[in-house]
Amino acid sequence: MLSIGRRRRYSSRMPLHILKLAVGCDSVKDLRAWVADRQKLAQSNGLPPRHIHITRMVPKRDAEVLDGGSLYWVIRGEIAARMKLIAIEPFRDSAGIGRCRLAMQPKVISVAPRPMRAFQGWRYFKDTDVPPDLGKAAASIEAMPEPMRRELRELGLL
């Protein structure tokens, strides 16, 4: 039996998220195309419908992240999209180095852009700090030229 102090309360717990740079990606549109290409390859190899990102470190707070968390992508200096995390799988590569597969649903969800400086690796991101999903406005905002969208965001109009 667990003591009262150690009892887990799932209903009041907020999920923890991961923040990661999308290196080599210029826009949410690019990220979606990249995920779609990798999904086609995975499907042709008979793999399950999920997107995998490999990182060096294993999140120590994996239970909190998998309790409804997402991986938020930083694209060109802005938090711009997220993908729902579904599994965290530690493994050793062919050289014996510890690595981690972050498995996500293959759906890229646009979020309200928010500036974020570059950093190495990944960071935890509290649920209270995440930008809201764009929802129906995503298509029109993503259709804007990147410089216009950034300028509107800097002016506080987006």
Domain boundaries, the chain: 13-154
Identify the pLDDT of residue 47: 86
Question: Rounded distance, CA 140 to CA 100, Å?
Answer: 35
Identify the pLDDT of residue 139: 65
**Cα dihedral across residues 94, 58, 35, 42: positive or negative:** positive
Q: Quickly state the pLDDT bin for 43 (edges 50, 70, 90).
A: confident
Q: Please answer whether residues 111 and 86 qualify as being in contact, where contact means their C-beta atoms are separated by less than 8 angstroms.
A: no
Percent of the chain with pLDDT over 70: 87
Q: What is the pTM of this model?
A: 0.80
Q: Compute the average pLDDT of residues 41-49.
A: 87
Please give the CATH number for the structural domain made up of 13-154: 2.30.130
Q: Quickly state the pLDDT bin for 112 (edges 50, 70, 90).
A: confident
How far CA 118 is from CA of 1, 36, 82, 121, 131, in Å, comes to 45, 25, 17, 10, 17
Percent of the chain with pLDDT over 90: 47
